[in-house]
Amino acid sequence: MGAWEALFQILLVLAPHVGYVAQYIEIVRSNSIEGYAPLVSLILLTSYTLRLYYYIGNHYMLALLFQAIVGVVVHLAVLLKVLNVHISQVGSEYQDNVLFGANAISPWSNNTPASFEEAGGKPAPVVADEHLSSSPHTSAQADTVHAEEAGTTSWSPTAIFFRFLRFLIQLEDTIESRLLALTPHGFVYSYVATACVTLVAVLIFYFTVGRFWSSAPEVVGYVSLGIEALLVLPQILRNARRRSTEGLSVVLILTWVGGDIIKVAYYIYAKQALPFIVCGIFQILLDVVVVAQVVYYRFCLRRESGGGDGDAAATTRYVLSP
């Protein structure tokens, strides 16, 4: 192995995580998780864990194995920080609520009285009803999707699009609210337990199906990398819902775009397994959507409204025109 190839493989291990380290620092600095979608880290943590199991059945490049190991550590750290910050924010809002004389309520209660929301607080991150969760997003955002859908023919392509968008938003809110309802210790316990159960299931799959189907490990590879390919989808939904990319690290966006382009080129050059190439190309397409959102919300929309990225009024308008 030449010096340049060794250097590239080191970069392949570390470079994808630089943006998330920058995002971690941004969360620490601002003591806020408003701009970052925690599901991004949850998706990557799941994907990297499955990729470790994929290596058992298919010994791909060692650099990619070490990339997965580092990724598990990084995203565990990010998610634990997100949970700590979220708990401190909810606790602070609860204290403010008590000080200002509103109805006292535990920050981990499943029911948030209307007076708490009217006082400016945010509901606890749990499912509020059968339709929408009490995630950090406002119900007005989803209501606008209902309004947009109501103005279209029930089975028109536009109506179907908004129904699907509403489903994605509800799904994201539900998963995120369940995640944010966990304590850091509870999350670690859940992750370890789930990882162990999944490992047993993968090993059984390898020792049964793998005996008569040589491509069985590729199934685990496609599942792992398919999950990873969707990593920016929660961020895309959050950006569209807030009509803002404020709080999202530019370094993270650059590592998404640059890293995905470089790694796909290298996968093709090094003749890596097909799942890496196919899912990498799909990731690039989603990266382009994020870049377009950054350009629109930070430059075009700002110029049109004369305000800054993340304007509160723009958030409540949440226009998703067909």
Per-residue confidence band for 1, with pLDDT thresholds at 50, 70 and 90: low
| Cα–Cα distance for residue pair 246/308, rounded to 1 Å | 9
Per-residue confidence band for 303, with pLDDT thresholds at 50, 70 and 90: low
Per-residue confidence band for 318, with pLDDT thresholds at 50, 70 and 90: very low
- Region of 247 on the Ramachandran plot (φ > 0 left; ψ -120 to 50 alpha; else beta): left
- What's at 318, amino acid-wise? Y
The residue whose two tokens read 């699907």 is 164
| Cα–Cα distance for residue pair 9/55, rounded to 1 Å | 17
| Cα–Cα distance for residue pair 208/63, rounded to 1 Å | 29
Q: Which long-range contacts (CB under 8 A, 24 or more apart) does 300-308 make?
A: 301/243, 308/246
> Is residue 26 within 8 Å of residue 199, measured between CB atoms?
no
In a domain, 142, yes or no: yes
Residue with more model confidence, 64 or 72:
72
The 10s digit of each residue's pLDDT in 117-127 is 444 444 444 44
Q: Is the pLDDT of residue 267 over 70?
A: yes
In a domain, 82, yes or no: yes
In a domain, 146, yes or no: yes
Per-residue confidence band for 240, with pLDDT thresholds at 50, 70 and 90: confident
Residue with more model confidence, 205 or 237:
205
* pLDDT reported for residue 96: 53
Per-residue confidence band for 76, with pLDDT thresholds at 50, 70 and 90: very high
* pLDDT reported for residue 306: 59
The 10s digit of each residue's pLDDT in 13-22 is 888 888 889 8
Percent of the chain with pLDDT over 90: 19
* pLDDT reported for residue 94: 53
In a domain, 8, yes or no: no
Residue with more model confidence, 283 or 147:
283
The 10s digit of each residue's pLDDT in 81-135 is 999 999 988 876 655 555 555 454 444 444 444 443 444 444 444 444 444 344 5
In a domain, 130, yes or no: yes
Percent of the chain with pLDDT over 70: 73
| Cα–Cα distance for residue pair 251/15, rounded to 1 Å | 11
CA geometry: angle 37, 17, 268, nearest 5 deg: 110
In a domain, 3, yes or no: no
Concatenating the DSSP letter of every residue in 275-306 gives HHHHHHHHHHHHHHHHHHHHHIIIIIHHHHHS
The 10s digit of each residue's pLDDT in 200-226 is 999 999 999 888 888 888 888 888 888
Q: Is the pLDDT of residue 80 over 60?
A: yes
* pLDDT reported for residue 69: 95
Parent domain of 298? 16-317
The 10s digit of each residue's pLDDT in 22-71 is 889 988 988 888 778 888 899 899 999 999 999 998 888 888 899 999 99
Q: How many domains does the chain have?
A: 1
In a domain, 4, yes or no: no
Mean residue pLDDT across the chain:
76
| Cα–Cα distance for residue pair 155/205, rounded to 1 Å | 41
Per-residue confidence band for 271, with pLDDT thresholds at 50, 70 and 90: confident
In the chain, DSSP finds a helix count (H) and a strand count (E) of: 13, 0
Mean pLDDT within 234-238: 82
In a domain, 7, yes or no: no
Residue with more model confidence, 186 or 234:
186
* pLDDT reported for residue 280: 85
Q: How far is CA 68 from the centre of its chain?
A: 17
* pLDDT reported for residue 40: 85
